[in-house]
Amino acid sequence: MISSELHAAGVHDPVLRDAYRRCRTLNSQHGRTFFLATRLLTPQQRPAVHALYGFARRADDILDDFDASVSSSERANELQRLATRLFNRMTAGATDDGDLSLAAVVDTARRYDIPWEHFDDFLSSMRMDLSTTDYPDRAALDRYMYGSAEVIGLQMLPVLGTVCESTEAAPYAAALGKAFQLTNFLRDVDEDLQRGRIYLPADELAVHQVDRDVLNWCHDHRRTDPRVRRALEEQHAETRRIYRFAEQGIALLHPRSRPCISAALTLYSEILDRIEELDFAVFDQRATVGTARRLQVAGRGFVEAWVARIRHSGT
């Protein structure tokens, strides 16, 4: 399957093909819902999406590994090495750094004219995770999420294609990336807290008399304090609003890409449903969408994708 995808994408160099395979493996192992949605894309689109995911995952792993023996300065140095190697490859064509895993994302960036600035903004937000543990207000969190989530949507946009100027579709693509990440923040409040981070605006939590101490109490007792529940309900509603905005942009995508993004939006937004059904008990269980439901959404998407490919095979 992967060989046919790489052939369809015009990737023939053996070293490059191996780099793309590594990225696909990362996506299949760590991004199950997202990987399932990528199966709805055309074969020639999939390797690029896997490459973008693989790079983002690599940076995330530098920061989120629970290994306490790795210091913040060591993580910072590793992230800087990654940024330097990517910059040198993208801007100077360097290939002598021994880092073959970057080959796929650089090839994708060149094929789809994805600017260095999108990767630079992403890496800037990743650096924030080395020192920033709390966000005082929505504006501060939004600055972080622009680089950590919104630019991912912007990177994806040229791969997906649009029926309008890309600048018209860009706000919706960015919003969808933001909605996905806000969903993760709600689902993973407890896990992030264990890493010392709170990805919720402190002033909005304070309205409900919630602070780090209250969240730590919830973690220690594996239950959601009523004040925290009210605060999470508010964050939940804001995330829903962003999904509604982002959904308007699906019609601006190339028809062959719409089933994939529609499925991803459906499945990720249903994580919010599960959180609500659990009554925001995010400190003792993880909200997930069941396999049967994921396959149901994917099955419908496969039909829609097949019809779209037939209708637009020449475009």
CA distance 12 to 7: 7
Whether 302 and 183 share a structural domain: yes
Tell which residue, 261, 287, 258, 262, has the closest CA to residue 272.
287
Last residue of a domain, one of 98, 131, 164: 131
Containing structural domain, residue 95: 1-131
pLDDT in tens, 140-185: 999 999 999 999 999 999 999 999 999 999 999 999 999 999 999 9
pLDDT for residue 312: 66
At 266, list the tokens: 């459906």
pLDDT for residue 315: 55
Whether 284 and 220 share a structural domain: yes
pLDDT for residue 61: 86
**Which CATH number is 146's domain given?**
1.10.600.10
Q: Please state, in angstroms and as integers, the Cα–Cα distance from residue 28 to each residue in 2, 53, 157, 194, following that order.
A: 12, 10, 21, 26
pLDDT for residue 97: 65
% the chain with pLDDT above 70:
95
Last residue of a domain, one of 116, 131, 146: 131
pLDDT for residue 313: 63
- SS3 of 201, please? strand
CA dihedral 293, 296, 297, 303 (to 10 degrees): 170
- Does the pLDDT at position 94 exceed 80? no
Mean pLDDT of 9-36: 86
Last residue of a domain, one of 131, 161, 184: 131
Total structural domains in the chain? 2
At 82, list the tokens: 């990654």
Whether 90 and 231 share a structural domain: no
Instruction: Give the type of residue at 188.
Output: D
At 278, list the tokens: 């659990």
Whether 126 and 167 share a structural domain: no
- Does the pLDDT at position 101 exceed 80? no
**Is 0.75 surpassed by the pTM of this model?**
yes
pLDDT for residue 92: 75
Whether 123 and 242 share a structural domain: no
Whether 149 and 118 share a structural domain: no
Whether 159 and 119 share a structural domain: no
Whether 296 and 227 share a structural domain: yes
CA distance 63 to 234: 28
pLDDT in tens, 184-235: 999 999 999 999 999 999 999 999 999 999 999 999 999 999 999 999 999 9
Mean pLDDT of 108-124: 95
pLDDT for residue 135: 97
